[in-house]
């Protein structure tokens, strides 16, 4: 890994503060594979919650995304883009599953009806 304090002078100029994000995992080999989930829903009511993505390859290997720290708002026919990361990369995906959660223990359970979705690898944009 790299120590952020060694990069401070280069990343944060005194004239204008800059935010920099390094995506790493806590597991060897410490890299994260980023995907962009572009999703359109058709629920009539607004839904607010979290989406966890699970991808499976043709050999049956499965990897789950990390839960986003901020909830997304889903409205009818509005596109929402969510950055999601995985500890491992699967080259050929055979199955994608999404889990929607509001993280509330009480109250009714809500479903998220998906009209369209696209999962794009940011590390390998040709896929």
pTM of model > 0.75: no
Longest CA span, the chain: 51
Say which DSSP state 122 is in.
S
Please answer whether residues 71 and 49 qualify as being in contact, where contact means their C-beta atoms are separated by less than 8 angstroms: yes
Residue-by-residue pLDDT tens, the chain, 127 positions: 556 666 666 666 555 554 444 566 666 666 788 889 999 999 888 988 888 999 999 999 999 987 677 889 999 999 999 988 888 888 889 999 998 888 776 766 778 899 999 999 888 888 8
Q: What is the pLDDT of residue 40?
A: 94
Which residues lie below 8 Å from residue 81, measured CB to CB, with a gap of 6+? Answer: 36, 37, 38, 39
Does a structural domain hold residue 22? no
Does a structural domain hold residue 15? no
Q: What is the pLDDT of residue 101?
A: 86
- The 3-state DSSP class for residue 121 equals strand
Q: What is the pLDDT of residue 94?
A: 94
Pairwise CA distance, residues 34 & 111, whole Å: 26
Does a structural domain hold residue 62? yes
Does a structural domain hold residue 14? no
Q: What is the pLDDT of residue 78?
A: 92
| Both structure tokens of 113 | 């009806």
Does a structural domain hold residue 72? yes
Q: What is the pLDDT of residue 10?
A: 62
Q: What is the pLDDT of residue 70?
A: 81
Does a structural domain hold residue 4? no
Domain range for 106 is: 27-77+84-121
């Amino acid at each position: 890994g790299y120590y952020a304090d060694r990069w401070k002078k280069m990343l944060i100029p005194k004239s204008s503060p800059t935010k920099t994000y390094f995506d790493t995992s806590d597991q060897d080999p410490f890299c994260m594979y980023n995907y962009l989930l572009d999703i359109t829903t058709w629920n009539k009511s607004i839904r607010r919650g979290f989406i966890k993505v699970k991808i499976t390859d043709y050999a049956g290997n499965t990897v789950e995304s990390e839960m986003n720290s901020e909830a997304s708002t889903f409205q009818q026919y509005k596109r929402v883009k969510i950055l999601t990361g995985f500890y491992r990369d699967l080259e050929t995906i055979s199955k994608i599953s999404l889990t929607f959660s509001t993280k509330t223990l009480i109250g009714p359970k809500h479903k998220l009806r998906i009209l369209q979705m696209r999962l794009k690898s940011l590390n390998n944009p040709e896929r």
